[in-house]
């Protein structure tokens, strides 16, 4: 018998699902799983039909198939979400932890099962230096409560022009050099009928499960996708198990609000399915962006106790499934696998640079590999209160993005300095002095402990000069900033910071 066209089946399944004909929809999903065996969506959707038909055992079996398919395709977030669905159905599922371990082995390619190529040399564990005392990060605490200069080896305290303490630490985040963990240990390594009213929990009232196709080796593309999954790509098997066991699966109905602008935040979110809108409440109320599968948001909550800067709302038609990673989970993972701290800082840096490229005309030409290379050239700085990041009358040392904390902009006059504005997470400064080769027109000083990204002056000029189209914007931008400062000095506003909205 000839196999039916998948497009026809998809159309029929959509109609059956919308009409509430669950068994007919289930039959279609199982058929699609046979036709497209590498796509985990059909097994996951079949699981949804099984659940609505009351057959939890078959739903779990379908979700297990979905996990395998997702991980082989490189969709780590979807695989984790499917695992969480299994635990929602059966919290005592005895094999799920082993499956999660296998998932991570396949992800890293170390010691994998038959059919999965392993590298010739095992990945060396990251050395961790431990010393007696408290944990690296207190449970549920944001990162700004940690003195990174004390716990990240290789952190360098910078001095000012007078050779004195500048209040600035450079934190190395691109080398997993190990982290000083506060602990009590020494050195360690680290269709059927149309009648859908018959709902049954046994195997007699629903279609038989489709046998899972033979597992194919992970493709190079899949390995690359897994490796590049932000933040998750750095986790070893133990940390991955803890993360997946404790991460929360959040299901949003179409149009449902996850949180509102001004709410307190304590979790990072990943879109596993569907999409969400990022909304500025205004007035007027404006949709800033739409985030789809695999995209992260809410990372600012990992760094500081600042309230949410935007509202997150599920797509009005599809809704959304999210993975919520709470600060307490992150602190536990860092305590068990301290190298994750540097991975988290890299993730935050790369996310901030992505936002910069998306919002700043100066960096609009950067995309793909250029964007990744650009992110890697930013330094991560920890700054003490009172530290001067830019001084009026002197050239800026770099281009800066504020990740966490608060800075103040000062204008020095004969009568003294006066405040002309405050900089908050997402704000940028320093670019006009660098582009014009002129002294800075304001002083920027840290009000609180802060985290910043710095693109050093020479590097900034180098990357900008390689894109001549950017230089065409410089003159207009300089005139705009100068005019804005004149308005500020006349009491008609605050100094513009070119900020980005961080959720």
DSSP 270-304: EEEEE-EEEEE--SSPEEEEEE-TT-EE-THHHH-
**Spatial contact of 176 and 126, defined as CB atoms under 8 Å apart:** yes
Inter-residue long-range contacts of 489-492, CB under 8 Å, 24+ positions, other chains counted:
489/411, 489/420
Residues 279-296, buried b or exposed e (16+ Cβ, 10 A)? Answer: beeeeeeeeebebebbbb
Count of structural domains, the chain: 2
Question: Is residue 176 in a domain?
Answer: no
CB atoms within 10 A of CB 342: 26
Question: Is residue 478 in a domain?
Answer: yes
Q: For every one of its 503 residues, what pLDDT tens digit does the chain have, with 9 covering 90 and above?
A: 456 788 899 999 999 998 999 999 999 999 999 999 999 999 999 999 999 999 999 999 999 999 989 888 888 889 889 998 998 999 888 676 566 556 556 555 544 332 323 333 333 333 434 434 456 777 788 888 889 998 888 899 998 878 888 999 999 988 654 444 433 333 223 233 344 443 333 434 444 444 333 344 444 544 444 445 567 766 777 777 777 778 899 999 999 999 999 999 999 999 999 999 999 998 899 998 899 988 889 988 888 888 898 999 999 998 999 999 999 988 888 887 777 888 888 888 888 888 878 777 777 778 778 888 888 999 999 999 999 999 999 999 999 999 989 999 999 988 888 888 899 888 889 988 988 888 999 999 999 999 999 999 999 888 877 776 666 666 666 677 777 778 887 877 666 666 666 77
Check residue 392 and report its DSSP letter: B
CA distance 96 to 241: 10
Question: Is residue 446 in a domain?
Answer: yes
Q: What is the pLDDT of residue 333?
A: 85
Question: Is residue 424 in a domain?
Answer: yes
CB atoms within 10 A of CB 61: 19
Structure tokens at 381: 């700085």
* β-strand pairing of 156-159 with 286-291: unpaired
Q: What is the pLDDT of residue 110?
A: 47
CA dihedral of residues 125, 127, 128, 129 (deg, nearest 10)? 160
Q: What is the pLDDT of residue 315?
A: 95
Question: Is residue 1 in a domain?
Answer: yes
Q: Which of 89, 122, 155 is the last residue of a domain?
A: 122
CATH number of the domain at 116, please.
1.25.40.10
CB atoms within 10 A of CB 15: 13
Question: Is residue 401 in a domain?
Answer: yes
Which domain range does residue 468 map to? Answer: 359-489
Q: Which residues, at least 6 apart from 245, have a Cβ–Cβ distance to it below 8 Å?
A: 87, 97, 100
- H or E segment at 451? strand 450-456
- Locate tokens 């230096």: which residue? 129
Question: Is residue 79 in a domain?
Answer: yes
CA distance 311 to 314: 10
Q: Which of 122, 141, 165 is the last residue of a domain?
A: 122
Q: Which of 96, 122, 148 is the last residue of a domain?
A: 122
Structure tokens at 423: 């900089």
Structure tokens at 36: 């497209």
Question: Is residue 485 in a domain?
Answer: yes
CATH number of the domain at 409, please.
2.60.120.10
């Amino acid at each position: 018998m000839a196999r039916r066209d998948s497009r026809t089946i998809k159309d029929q399944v959509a109609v059956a699902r919308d009409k509430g004909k669950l068994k007919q929809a289930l039959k279609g999903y199982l058929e699609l799983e046979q036709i497209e065996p590498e796509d985990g969506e059909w097994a996951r959707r079949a699981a949804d039909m099984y659940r609505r038909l009351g057959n939890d055992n078959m739903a779990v079996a379908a979700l297990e198939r979905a996990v395998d398919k997702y991980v082989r395709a490189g969709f780590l977030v979807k695989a984790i979400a499917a695992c969480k669905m299994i635990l929602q159905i059966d919290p005592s599922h005895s094999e799920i932890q082993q499956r999660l371990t296998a998932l991570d082995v396949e992800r890293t390619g170390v010691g994998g099962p038959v059919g999965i190529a392993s590298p010739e040399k095992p990945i060396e564990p990251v050395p961790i230096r431990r010393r007696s005392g408290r944990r690296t990060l207190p449970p549920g605490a944001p990162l700004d409560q940690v003195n990174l200069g004390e716990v990240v080896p290789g952190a360098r305290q910078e001095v000012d022009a007078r050779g004195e303490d500048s209040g600035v630490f450079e934190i190395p985040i691109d080398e997993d050099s190990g982290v000083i963990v506060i602990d009590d240990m020494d050195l360690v390594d680290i269709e059927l009928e149309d009648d859908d009213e018959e709902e049954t929990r046994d195997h007699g009232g629903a279609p038989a499960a489709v046998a899972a196709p033979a597992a194919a080796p992970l493709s190079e593309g899949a390995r690359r996708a897994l490796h590049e999954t932000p933040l998750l790509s750095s986790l070893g098997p133990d940390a991955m198990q803890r993360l997946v066991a404790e991460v929360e699966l959040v299901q949003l109905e179409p149009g449902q609000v996850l949180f509102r602008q001004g709410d307190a935040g304590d979790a990072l979110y990943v879109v596993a399915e569907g999409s969400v809108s990022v909304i500025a409440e205004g007035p007027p109320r404006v949709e800033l962006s739409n985030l789809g599968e695999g995209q992260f948001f809410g990372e600012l909550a990992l760094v500081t106790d600042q309230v949410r800067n935007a509202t997150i709302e599920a797509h009005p038609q599809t809704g959304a499934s999210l993975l919520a990673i709470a600060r307490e989970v992150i602190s536990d993972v860092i305590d068990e696998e301290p190298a994750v701290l540097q991975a988290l800082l890299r993730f935050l840096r790369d996310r901030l640079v992505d936002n910069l490229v998306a919002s700043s005309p100066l960096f609009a030409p950067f995309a793909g590999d250029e964007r990744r290379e650009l992110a890697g050239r930013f330094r991560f700085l920890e700054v003490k209160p009172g530290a001067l990041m830019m001084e009026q009358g002197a050239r800026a040392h770099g281009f800066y993005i504020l990740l966490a904390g608060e800075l103040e902009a000062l204008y020095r006059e004969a009568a003294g300095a006066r405040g002309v504005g405050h900089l908050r997470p997402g704000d940028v400064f320093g670019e006009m002095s660098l582009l014009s080769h002129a002294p800075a027109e304001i002083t920027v000083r840290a009000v609180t402990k802060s985290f910043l990204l710095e693109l050093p002056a020479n590097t900034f000029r180098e990357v900008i000069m390689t894109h001549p189209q950017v230089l065409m914007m410089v003159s207009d931008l300089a005139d705009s900033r100068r005019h804005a400062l004149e308005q500020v000095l006349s009491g008609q506003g605050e100094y513009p910071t070119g900020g980005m909205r961080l959720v």
